[in-house]
Amino acid sequence: MGRADCPSAWGSAGRGNYQLSRFIHNRTVRRETIDINRRAAHLKRPMTCLYGTSVAIGGAGVLLQGPSGSGKSDLALRLIDEGACLVADDQTEVQRNGKDLAMRAPAVLAGLIEARGLGIMRVPHVAEAPLRLIVELAAETGIERLPEARSRTIDGVAVPVIALDPHAASAPAKLRLAMKALTSPPLAGALALP
């Protein structure tokens, strides 16, 4: 079948709407009208790409940040093993969505994580999660025992920040505890927004 024999998949439906027909072996399978203006609204909002690995725990997003080799993917794998879902590994796109920040993976990285020593692996993932907590990975000696509340503002939204040693056996439990503290008043005030 030559190029001239291929039916056009797009046809105008007026006022910025287009009809897309899906074809299998030259037969129309489904025809849908797409409002290009409404579907492209997300392209008008600025997006920030942050260096870090992100997971969703109970639907709430956590961004793990630290230098290369600091244990971001390793901690994410342990959290995923305990029921979390990957959002993005190594690079996380963050975009304001009303009063929230939505995290997602760049399309080419969706569902993929680097497991050092194994290579790039496919794991359970979600397309998007609201950013609720930023975790700065650090050695245990650099972490305060009773830290003051900290936050980072991204695109006008303040997000609580904690420091955590990713190599500690208790790291996943501490992170889950921090997530629970976000929904109830913490004792030491470590997760309250300043």
pLDDT for 38-55, tens place per residue? 555 555 557 889 999 999
Buried b (16+ CB within 10 A) or exposed e, 33-69: eeeeeeeeeeeeeeeeebebbbbbbeebbbbbbbeee
138 and 151 both lie in a single domain: yes
Which pLDDT belongs to residue 38? 53
pLDDT category, 106, cuts 50, 70, 90? very high
**153 assigned to some structural domain:** yes
């029921």: which residue's tokens?
83
How many domains in the chain? 2
135 and 79 both lie in a single domain: yes
26 and 81 both lie in a single domain: no
Burial (CB < 10 A; 0-12, 13-18, 19+), residue 78, is middle
Report the phi/psi class of residue 59: left, alpha or beta, with left for phi > 0 and alpha for psi in -120 to 50: left
Could you tell me the residue range of the domain that residue 145 belongs to? Answer: 46-181
Judge whether residue 5 has pLDDT over 60: no
Judge whether residue 82 has pLDDT over 90: yes
